[in-house]
Amino acid sequence: MKYKISQSQIDRIVFKYLDNQDFIQIEENNRIYFVNSVGDNYGQIIADKNERWCGIYQELVKEISSFFSMKSNDSIDVIKRWVENKLQMELTGAFYHQMKVSPLTSN
């Protein structure tokens, strides 16, 4: 049986899922890194405050896509909206990246 779910319902469910990940935000060089825990040097999500984009680690995109039966592009869009909500700023774009990025080594 298939159900129709509105975008706001999807957002609410995925936002709750992402909130439960308890990401810690590290800000460095006008970028905000969402890491899993204190001492974790790799960001699952990176938001650039100047350029107004976010990069999302591909494994997180796959996780959301698989868990919620969504296409990758839809997962990226909802994660972008979650980041916008968390940072209270509009982003111009979002993409996925293949490697976790360290706030300690990036520019």
Measure the CA–CA gap between 10 and 91, rounded to whole angstroms: 19
In this prediction, residue 100 carries a pLDDT of: 62
In this prediction, residue 59 carries a pLDDT of: 93
**Domain boundaries defined on the chain:** 7-70+89-97
Element (H, E) at 87: helix 72-87
CA distances to 3, 9, 43 from 55, rounded to whole Å, are 30, 24, 9
From first to last of its 107 residues, the chain has per-residue pLDDT tens of: 777 888 899 999 999 999 999 999 999 889 999 998 877 777 899 999 999 999 999 999 999 999 999 999 999 999 999 999 999 999 999 998 876 666 655 44
